[in-house]
Amino acid sequence: MRWTAGDRSNVEDYRGRGLPVRGASLGLGGFVLLLVLSWVTGTNFFSLLDTSSSGERTGSSGPVASSPAEEREVDFVDAVMNDIQQTWTAVLPRYQPTRVVLFRDAIESGCGVGQSATGPFYCPQDQRVYLDLGFFEELSQKFGAPGDFARAYVIAHEVGHHVQRLTGIEARVRGAQHDDPRAVNPLSVRLELQADCFAGVWGHTASQQGRSAQGKVELEPGDVEQGLQAAASIGDDRLQRMSGGRVAPERFTHGTSAQRVEWFRRGLTSGRPDACDTFASTTQ
Contact 55, 109 (CB under 8 A): no
Minimal CA–CA distance to 4: which of 65, 59, 76?
Answer: 76
Average pLDDT (236-257) is: 84
pLDDT at 252: 87
pLDDT at 239: 85
pLDDT at 35: 57
Bigger pLDDT: 234 or 102? 102
pLDDT at 172: 96
pLDDT at 62: 45
Please give the Cα distance from 107 to 14 (Å, whole number): 8
11-276: what fold?
Collagenase (Catalytic Domain) (3.40.390)
pLDDT at 61: 39
pLDDT band per the 50, 70, 90 thresholds, residue 82 = very high
pLDDT at 19: 55
pLDDT at 249: 81
Q: Which residues pair with 121 in a beta bridge?
A: 130
- CA 253 centroid distance within chain: 14
pLDDT band per the 50, 70, 90 thresholds, residue 246 = confident
Question: pLDDT digits over 46-60, tens only?
Answer: 444 443 333 344 433
pLDDT band per the 50, 70, 90 thresholds, residue 248 = confident
Average pLDDT (204-211) is: 96
Q: Is the pLDDT of residue 103 over 90?
A: yes
The region of weakest confidence among 22-31, 165-174, 209-218, 273-282 is 22-31
Other Cβ atoms within 10 Å of 139 Cβ, number: 23
Can you give the pTM of this predicted structure? 0.83
Question: pLDDT digits over 114-130, tens only?
Answer: 988 888 999 999 999 99
Contacts 24+ apart (CB under 8 A), 77-80: 77/10, 77/11, 77/102, 77/131, 77/133, 77/155, 78/5, 78/6, 78/7, 78/8, 78/9, 78/10, 78/11, 79/3, 79/4, 79/5, 79/6, 79/217, 80/3, 80/151, 80/152, 80/155, 80/156, 80/217
pLDDT at 27: 46
pLDDT at 89: 97
* Residue 15, CA distances (Å) to 2, 154, 195 in order: 26, 19, 26
pLDDT band per the 50, 70, 90 thresholds, residue 163 = very high
Average pLDDT over the chain, rounded to whole?
86
Q: Is the pLDDT of residue 152 over 50?
A: yes
Break the chain into its structural domains and give their ranges: 11-276
Spell out the SS3 assignment of 93-153.
CCCCCCCEEECCCEEEECCEEEEHHHCCEEECCCCEEEECCHHHHHHHHCCCCCCHHHHHH
Percent of the chain with pLDDT over 90: 70
CA angle 268, 208, 130 (to 5 degrees): 55
